[in-house]
Amino acid sequence: MMNADLKRKWLDALRSGKYQQAKAALHRQGDGFCCLGVLCDVSGLGKWEPVSTDTKLRARAYRIDGEPCIETCILPTAVRRAAGLDSCNPSVSVGPKYNEKASGFSLASLNDSLGFTFEQIADVIEAQL
């Protein structure tokens, strides 16, 4: 079961309008955040730093105790554990209104491929995690 306090912070942040939505990275400088990047941000466990000096890349790594998240599209293990999640990219079901398959989608795919808004993603998280 998900940590209730961190879940509330995550839902509030996704619905706040404070975070601009981005794709294919937890956080892109100037472009925004993936829904999973918002969870990293509100967890308070680490800080954002550039992945490289290549200004075209603009992806930001989330570092906890100086260690970067290896993947740029999934949760760092420490954030996953703090949140009480079983996966670094949790799977959820969505109704046929959004996709005929309706189940087995990761949160990153809702954010990146299916075009869910943060508000819609928050609704799914609230109901299923």
C-alpha torsion 88→82→17→92, nearest 10: 40
**pLDDT category, 100, cuts 50, 70, 90?**
low
Residue-wise pLDDT tens digits, 45-75? 998 887 665 555 566 777 777 666 656 678 9
* 85 band by pLDDT with thresholds 50, 70 and 90: very high
The pair of structure tokens assigned to 44 is 């308070």
For residues 104, 2, 51, 44, the Cα torsion angle rounded to the nearest 10 degrees is 160
Buried b (16+ CB within 10 A) or exposed e, 81-120: ebbebeebbbebebeeebbeeeeebbbbbbbbeeebebeb
Question: Domain locations in the chain?
Answer: 4-128
Top-confidence residue, 10 or 27: 10
Question: What pLDDT is attached to residue 28?
Answer: 82
Are 88 and 102 in contact by the 8 Å Cβ rule? The answer is: no
